[in-house]
């Protein structure tokens, strides 16, 4: 059985990502690759990140796989559709079965199947992909309709969804991601050249039990499942033996969700004599001084603490279930313990007013994180936010040539207001952090005044 796995992300085609230059390996398909290999199915991973669409075309024509599995998310959707069109256009690839998985497919089943995908994997991919490979390899006792967690078009060209597949309860049964299938040095070099330190990504858990309305839970659901601290440290020991890198990025949604697990993690690092430097994401309500001390003891140098807004009204509207004062306190406490603090900010949420935006800026200045990211809110299909604002979409873009990121909806003010708000906050925070350098201060002060004036003009326009 000839199997190709890819993800259709080409950093050379994305100017914004080139500017950020923080690429991570596609852990999802590396996990599927390892699982298939463990079950006796060799496979090739075409890592598209530093490659090109033309080289992927060449690979497909040369390899002529029986099955191609493509990880599909919001960022890669349009390229995935390009890949499907190419495969379907080539006589030598007519036999190829196209299987899509990832967070984007569950809520766009009809569109992906009508666009040429043969099978969609809805949920976790390891067990489902194995059963599909066995089916196409004629080694399965199951019919396609008996394989759980998939969607396809039947002989009548009707959508057929099988019974949902239960989540994998014991993550210890899964092998470590198949990192040997990709050239990690390309990632290390990209990070090193731009940021001075190389990084590698590691996952310790799946799912998130929280209910933030803008967050998609299309793959792992609203669950919390975690590998043992011992197994995680064994993986860390293995990648330290195999690779030379500077830092680790734990991709988990809430790294400190279990304080008991964190203590076990610290103890395992000590018992296996493993030293690491890492950053992670968490929530303020899963932090306290003891947790921060444990993080520092285990090698954490930066914690990203979600807030999204400085307005409690907006935080509550998001169903974030955190208190803005607690967020502020944890950011400050983190810094006091010598760990960098980062935070996430979102503007343009439904119901957000100019007063709420000002509260967000005030929150940032008071908490004074070392780093922050800021974006304008957009609805992802399948999320409660999408359902809340779908009736207020300003325009309906063609699905095959757009993504959810481009969706705009009727907000308190125009989209331009919130774009200006992002720039206003950026310049105000730059002023807040600058010491000396009067020329830069004047530059940011002028830009701040200009963008604030434009915000007021957008309000006045109604």
> pLDDT tens for residues 299-308?
999 999 988 9
pTM for the model: 0.95
Task: Provide the Cα torsion 441, 444, 449, 455; round to 10°.
Answer: -150
Instruction: Report, as an integer, the average pLDDT of 20-44.
Output: 96
Report the candidate in 7, 188, 10, 18 with the shortest Cα–Cα distance to residue 100. Answer: 7
Residue 452 burial class via C-beta count within 10 angstroms: exposed 0-12, middle 13-18, buried 19 and up: middle
Residue 462 scores a pLDDT above 90 = no
Distance set, CA 241 to CA 116, 237, 238, 245, 274 (Å): 42, 6, 5, 10, 11
Instruction: Report, as an integer, the average pLDDT of 95-104.
Output: 97
In sequence order, which residues have a C-beta less than 8 Å from that of residue 155 and are 6 or more positions away? none
Contact 373, 329 (CB under 8 A): no
pLDDT at 173: 95
Neighbours of 446 (CB within 10 A): 11
Neighbours of 299 (CB within 10 A): 17
pLDDT-derived band at 275 (thresholds 50, 70, 90) equals very high
Report the candidate in 416, 405, 409 with the shortest Cα–Cα distance to residue 461. Answer: 416
Residue 105 scores a pLDDT above 90 = yes
Instruction: Report, as an integer, the average pLDDT of 390-419.
Output: 95
pLDDT at 221: 87
Report the candidate in 335, 395, 399, 327 with the shortest Cα–Cα distance to residue 364. Answer: 327
Task: For residue range 193-238, list pLDDT tens digits in order.
Answer: 999 999 999 999 999 999 999 999 889 988 999 999 999 999 999 9
Q: How far apart are CA 444 and CA 62, in angstroms?
A: 53
Task: For residue range 132-146, list pLDDT tens digits in order.
Answer: 999 999 998 889 999
Longest dimension (CA), the chain: 74
pLDDT at 32: 98
pLDDT-derived band at 280 (thresholds 50, 70, 90) equals very high
Task: For residue range 346-367, list pLDDT tens digits in order.
Answer: 999 999 999 999 999 999 999 9
In sequence order, which residues have a C-beta less than 8 Å from that of residue 137 and are 6 or more positions away? 1, 41, 66
What residue ranges define each of the domains in the chain, with the CATH number in brackets?
3-161 (3.40.50.280), 197-348 (3.20.20.70)
For the chain, what is the mean pLDDT? 96
Percent of the chain with pLDDT over 90: 95
Question: Residue 108 gets which letter from DSSP?
Answer: G
In a 3-state reduction of DSSP, which class is residue 121? Answer: strand
Percent of the chain with pLDDT over 70: 100
pLDDT at 437: 78
Report the candidate in 131, 151, 136, 54 with the shortest Cα–Cα distance to residue 95. Answer: 136
Q: How far apart are CA 103 and CA 382, in angstroms?
A: 10
pLDDT at 307: 85
φ and ψ at 221, to 5 degrees?
75, -175
Distance set, CA 373 to CA 90, 300, 452 (Å): 43, 19, 19
pLDDT at 210: 94
pLDDT at 85: 98
C-alpha angle with apex 183: 181 to 188, nearest 5 degrees? 135
pLDDT at 141: 87
Instruction: Report, as an integer, the average pLDDT of 429-437.
Output: 88
pLDDT at 329: 97
Residue 436 scores a pLDDT above 80 = no
In a 3-state reduction of DSSP, which class is residue 247? Answer: strand
pLDDT at 3: 98
Q: Which of 50-59, 216-225, 243-252, 310-319 has the lowest mean pLDDT?
A: 216-225
* End-to-end Cα, the chain, rounded Å: 61
């Amino acid at each position: 059985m000839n199997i190709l796995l890819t993800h259709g992300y080409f950093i050379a085609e994305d100017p914004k990502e080139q500017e950020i230059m923080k690429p991570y390996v596609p852990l999802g398909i590396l996990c599927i690759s390892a699982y298939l290999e463990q079950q006796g199915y060799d496979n090739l991973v075409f890592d598209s990140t530093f490659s090109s669409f033309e080289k992927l075309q060449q690979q497909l024509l040369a390899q002529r796989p029986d099955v191609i599995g493509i990880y599909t998310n919001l960022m890669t959707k349009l390229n995935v559709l390009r890949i499907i069109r190419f495969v379907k256009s080539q006589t030598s690839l007519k036999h190829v079965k196209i299987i899509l998985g990832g967070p984007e497919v569950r809520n766009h089943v009809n569109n992906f199947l009508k666009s040429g995908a043969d099978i969609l994997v809805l949920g976790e991919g390891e067990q489902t992909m194995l059963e599909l490979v066995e089916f196409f390899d004629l080694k399965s006792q199951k019919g396609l309709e008996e394989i759980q967690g998939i969607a396809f078009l039947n002989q009548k060209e009707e959508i057929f969804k099988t019974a949902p597949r239960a989540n994998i309860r014991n993550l210890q049964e899964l092998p470590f991601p198949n990192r040997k299938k990709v050239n990690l040095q390309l990632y290390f070099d990209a990070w090193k050249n731009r940021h001075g330190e190389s990084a590698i990504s590691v996952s310790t858990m799946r799912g998130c039990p929280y209910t933030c309305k803008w967050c998609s839970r299309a793959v792992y659901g609203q669950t919390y499942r975690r590998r043992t601290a011992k197994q995680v440290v064994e993986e860390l020991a293995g990648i330290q033996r195999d690779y030379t890198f500077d830092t680790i990025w734990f991709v988990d949604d809430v790294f400190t969700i279990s304080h008991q697990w964190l203590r076990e993690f610290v103890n395992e690092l000590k018992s296996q004599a493993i030293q690491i430097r890492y950053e992670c994401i968490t929530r303020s309500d899963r932090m306290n001084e003891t947790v921060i001390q444990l993080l520092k003891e285990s090698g954490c140098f930066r914690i990203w603490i979600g807030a999204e807004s400085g307005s409690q009204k907006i935080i509550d509207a998001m169903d974030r279930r955190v208190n803005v004062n607690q967020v502020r306190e944890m950011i400050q406490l983190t810094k006091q313990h010598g760990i960098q603090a980062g935070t996430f900010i979102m503007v343009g949420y439904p119901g957000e007013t100019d007063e709420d935006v000002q509260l967000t800026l005030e929150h940032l200045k008071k908490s004074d994180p070392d780093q922050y990211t800021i974006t304008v809110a957009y609805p992802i299909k399948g999320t409660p936010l999408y359902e809340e604002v779908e009736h207020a979409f300003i325009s309906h873009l063609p699905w095959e040539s757009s993504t959810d990121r481009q969706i705009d909806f009727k907000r308190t003010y125009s989209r331009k207001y919130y774009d200006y708000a992002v720039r206003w906050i950026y310049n105000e925070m730059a002023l807040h952090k600058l010491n000396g350098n009067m020329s830069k201060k004047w530059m940011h002060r002028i830009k701040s005044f200009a963008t604030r004036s434009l915000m007021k003009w957008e309000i006045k326009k109604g």
